């Protein structure tokens, strides 16, 4: 990656948010912080609602100048940063999804079964 991506240059946030017709239950969002120099995961933290798109389209580079409490696995950790020693991180939001909703469960699994069985294309018209 040569530079930070600007989240405002991508499509609008609503294009990447979960809508009412999503087949999965939405349990919230979490922010993932990755060290920009080594690309190692520093940790995650829960957020109420993201302020930009979820996933890689909303990934931005941040400079931490204060300590941040994060979660890594089951442990709480503190990323130490200061104005004299800032930490560059890549930040992206992810959705916490649950099970397939009851009203869509049968349709969702039926569609998955059809796709995996090769019924997506009629016989002889597979574009591969």
Quick one: tokens of 128?
Answer: 């591969």
Provide the pLDDT confidence category of residue 88 given band limits of 50, 70 and 90: very high
- Tens digits of per-residue pLDDT, 57-84? 889 999 999 999 999 999 999 999 999 9
**Pairing of the two strands 87-100 and 24-35:** antiparallel
Res. 89: pLDDT tops 80: yes
Token digits for 83? 């104005």
H helix intervals, 32-94: none
Q: Is the pLDDT of residue 113 over 60?
A: yes
pLDDT of residue 4: 45
Query: What's the burial of 22, exposed, middle or buried (CB within 10 Å: 0-12/13-18/19+)?
Result: middle
Confidence band for 8, pLDDT divided at 50, 70 and 90: very low
Mean pLDDT of the chain: 77
Q: How far apart are CA 58 and CA 34, in angstroms?
A: 14
Q: Which two tokens stand for residue 103?
A: 């009203």
What is the C-alpha to C-alpha distance for residues 68 and 78, in angstroms, rounded to an integer?
A: 6
Q: Is the pLDDT of residue 90 over 50?
A: yes
pTM strictly above 0.95: no
pLDDT in tens, 9-39: 444 444 444 455 667 788 889 999 999 999 9
Q: What is the DSSP letter of 97?
A: E
Q: Could you give the CA distance from residue 77 to residue 93 in angstroms, rounded to a whole number?
A: 19
């Amino acid at each position: 990656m040569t530079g930070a991506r600007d989240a405002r240059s991508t499509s609008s946030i609503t294009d990447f948010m979960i809508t009412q017709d999503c087949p999965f239950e939405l349990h919230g969002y979490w922010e993932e912080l990755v060290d920009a120099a080594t690309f190692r995961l520093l940790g995650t933290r829960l957020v109420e609602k993201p302020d930009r798109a979820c996933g890689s389209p909303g990934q931005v580079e941040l400079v931490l100048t204060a300590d941040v409490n994060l979660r890594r696995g089951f442990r709480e950790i503190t990323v130490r940063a200061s104005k004299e020693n800032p930490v560059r991180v890549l930040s992206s939001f992810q959705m916490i999804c649950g099970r397939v909703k009851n009203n869509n469960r049968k349709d969702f699994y039926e569609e998955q079964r059809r796709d995996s069985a090769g019924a997506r294309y009629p016989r002889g018209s597979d574009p591969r």
